[in-house]
Amino acid sequence: MNSINNFVKKSVLGGLLVVLPAVVVFFTIRWAFYTVAEIIQPLVTPLNDRINAPEFVIDLLVILMILTGCFVVGNIAATGFGKWLHTRFDNTLSILAPGYNLVKDIIHQVLGNDSNSPFSKGDVARARLFGPDIKTEVTGIITSHHEDGWYTLFVPTGPNPTSGMMYHLPPEQVTLLPTVKVDEALRTIISCGAGSGELFSR
């Protein structure tokens, strides 16, 4: 009986892990789509009455409005006033929604560019923080190569890879992993180590 219960629990949990991310993305896009559609409805209805456009044209208009809105917000955020406003907005949401910072950091890591992701161009490494003879190792990202051969290593914390600790280590305590990509290593950190065995067995 216990084996059946464990099997059912593992199957349900496995299904949730597969389905939930897709469901969250789907409903987020769906929410954004219908929110914009509702906002622009007063403009779309007279246009649709005049030209009798097919429904897909209206849908395309909604998508273009979303992209235009992102473009406008992105340009405003690049200004001094926009940065100040964005900071105030972030601070307010951080108080009202405790999980906001985690979601924001993960999204920035996934979609961020070189300017806002300090280790996006780094090398993945395994490091022995406590000395070359101590076999305890951590997963890290090389963020700087020193002239004397030392490395600056950023060790992210799971499941939030954008927070962590920074270490300066000699080369004998660092093993570079050129076959492992940064995004692959970050996925194991977000999942609190799950998948590390397969990743490091290459």
Residue 157 is given by DSSP the state P
Distance CA 197, CA 199 (A): 6
Domains and CATH numbers, the chain: 2-111 (no CATH), 123-200 (2.30.30)
Distance CA 38, CA 59 (A): 12
The model carries a pTM of 0.47
Distance CA 143, CA 107 (A): 20
What is the chain's Cα-based Rg? 23
What are the helix (H) ranges across 78-195?
A: 80-96, 100-111, 182-190
With beta carbons less than 8 A apart as the criterion, state whether 62 and 40 touch. yes
Task: State residue 106's pLDDT score.
Answer: 64
Task: State residue 120's pLDDT score.
Answer: 60
DSSP three-state, residue 144: strand
pLDDT in tens, the chain (202 residues): 666 666 666 667 666 666 766 777 788 778 877 787 777 777 667 766 676 767 667 777 777 877 888 888 888 878 888 888 888 887 887 787 777 777 776 666 555 554 545 556 678 999 999 999 999 999 999 988 999 999 999 998 887 777 789 999 999 999 999 888 888 888 888 888 888 888 888 6
